[in-house]
C-alpha cells in the first residue's frame, strides 16, 4: 500500500505491506535506526516516537495508520544549534547508561513536558510508566526531566 508520512520534517513516500509496523518502517525503510525495539507486548516504550506531536509506541502503530501524519523520531530532535533541552538534561544528569531505552525515554519526556510543563516528581514517574529501563533505576531519568522542565523544555 502506498503511503506518505512526514518524518522529521521530510515527506517520505513508500509502498509497504499493511502489516509493516511503524517502528520497522522507520528503521528499515527509512534507515532511521535510533528508535529501538525492546519488547513485543507494548510494554517497554523503547520504540516511542511522536506522531502528530504526541508520544506513541511505534511498535503498536501500523505504518499505514500513520499515512498522512507527522512523525518525529529521536534523530529529529537535535538541531544545528545543538541538542534538545531534554537530550541535554539527560546528558548532564547521567540519565543513560547502555542507551537502548534512551530514545524512547527522551521522546516520552518531550511529550510529557509538552502536556505538563511543570510536573511534580509523582507526575513524572506516572508519566513515564510506559517506559522501562534496566540500567539506571530511573533515579537520574527523573532528575533529568525535572531539570529539563526547569530549563523550560
Partner 1 sequence: MIPAAFDYARAASIDEAIELLGREDSKVLAGGHSLLPLLKLRFARPSLLVDIGRLDDLRYVREDGDRIGIGALSRHADLALDPILAQGCGLLARTAGNVGDPQVRHRGTIGGSVAHSDPASDVATILLTLDADFVAHGPDGERTIPAADFFTGPFETALGPQELLTEIVVPKVEGGRYLKHVRRQQDWATVAVAAVRLNGDVHVGLAAMGATPLRARAVEQAVAGGAAPADAAAHAAEGAEPPSDFAGSAEYRAHLAQVLTRQALEQI
Partner 2 sequence: MSILGNRVLRTEDDRFLRGRGTYVENLDLEGAASITFVRSLLAHAKIGGIDKSTAEAIPGVRVLTADDVDLPTFGPLPFGFPDDMGRPVVAKDVVRFVGEIVAIVVSDDRATGADAAELVMVDYDPLPVVVDPQEALKDETLLFPGAGTNVAARTQPPAANADDLFEGCDVTVSGTLVSQRLAPCPLEPRSTAAQFEDGRLTVWLSTQTPHQDRDAIAGMVGMEPSEVRVIAPDVGGGFGAKIVSSSGLTEEIMVSWLARELGRPTRWTETRSESMLALPHGRAMKLTYTIGGSKEGKVLAYKLDVLADCGAYPTLGAILASLTTLMSSGVYDIPRLEAEGTTVVTNTTQIAAFRGAGRPEAIQVIECAVDRFAAEIGMDPAEVRRLNYVGEFPHKTASGANYDSGDYTGALDLALRSAGYEELRAEQKRRRDEQATKQLGIGLSSYVEITNPLGEGELGEVEMTAGGEAIVRTGSFSHGQGHETSFAMVVADRLGLPLEKVTVHKGDTDEVASGTGTYGSKSLQIGGTASAAAAETVVEQAKQVVADYLEANPQDVVLDKGLGRFHVAGTADPSMSWEELATRAEGDGRLEELKAANEFKGQPTFPFGTHIAVVEVDSETGQVELQRMVCVDDAGTIVNPMLAEGQVHGGVGIGVAQALYEHYTFGDDGTPLTGNLVSYAFPSAAELPSWETIEMETPTPANPLGAKGIGESGTIGSTPAVYNAVVDALAPFGVKHVDMPANGENVWRAIQEAKA
Q: Are strands 70-72 and 54-57 parallel, antiparallel or unpaired?
A: unpaired
If you ran DSSP here, which 8-state letter would residue 66 be given? T
Closer Cβ to partner 2, 68 or 150, answer by number: 150
- Given partner 2, partner 1, none, residue 135, with its beta carbon under 5 to 8 Å by kind, binds partner 2
Each residue 73-112 as x (binds partner 2 by CB under 8 A) or -, in order, gives xxx-xx----x---x--xxx-x-xxxxxxxx--x------
DSSP 8-state code for residue 143? H
- With CB under 8 A as the rule, give the number of residues binding partner 2: 54
| Angstrom distance (rounded) from CA 79 to CA 93 | 21
Q: How far is CA 105 from the centre of its chain?
A: 6
Question: From the list 17, 28, 78, 117, which residue makes contact with partner 1 (rule: CB under 8 A)?
Answer: 17
Tell me if 55 contacts partner 1 by CB under 8 A: yes
103 CB-contact burial (10 Å; exposed 0-12 / middle 13-18 / buried 19+): buried
Per this entry, what is the length of the chain? 153
Report what 98 binds from partner 2, partner 1, none; CB cut-off 5-8 Å by kind: partner 2
CA distance 4 to 78: 23
How many other C-beta atoms can be found within 10 angstroms of the C-beta atom of residue 98?
10
Give the nearest distance from C-beta 152 to partner 2 in angstroms: 19
Q: Which of 6, 12, 65, 146 binds partner 1 (CB under 8 A)?
A: 65
- Does 64 bind partner 1 (CB under 8 A)? Our answer is yes
Which positions touch partner 1 (CB under 8 A)? 1, 17-19, 21, 37, 40-43, 45, 48, 51, 54-57, 59-62, 64-65, 108, 111-112, 115, 126-127, 129-130
Amino acid at each position: 500500500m502506498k503511503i506518505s508520512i512526514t518524518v522529521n520534517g521530510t515527506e517520505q513516500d513508500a509502498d509497504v505491506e499493511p502489516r509493516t509496523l511503524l517502528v520497522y518502517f522507520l528503521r528499515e525503510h527509512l534507515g532511521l535506526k535510533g528508535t529501538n525495539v525492546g519488547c513485543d507486548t507494548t510494554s517497554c516504550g523503547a520504540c516511542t516516537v511522536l506522531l502528530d506531536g504526541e508520544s506513541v509506541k511505534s511498535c503498536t502503530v501500523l505504518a499505514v495508520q500513520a499515512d498522512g501524519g507527522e512523525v518525529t523520531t529521536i534523530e529529529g530532535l537535535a538541531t544545528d544549534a545543538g541538542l534538545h533541552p531534554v537530550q541535554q538534561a539527560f546528558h548532564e544528569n547521567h540519565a543513560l547508561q547502555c542507551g537502548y531505552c534512551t530514545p524512547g525515554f527522551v521522546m516520552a519526556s518531550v511529550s510529557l513536558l509538552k502536556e505538563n510543563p511543570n510536573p511534580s516528581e509523582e507526575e513524572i514517574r506516572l508519566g513515564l510508566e510506559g517506559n522501562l529501563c534496566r540500567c539506571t533505576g530511573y533515579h537520574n531519568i527523573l532528575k533529568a526531566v525535572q531539570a529539563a522542565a526547569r530549563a523550560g523544555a
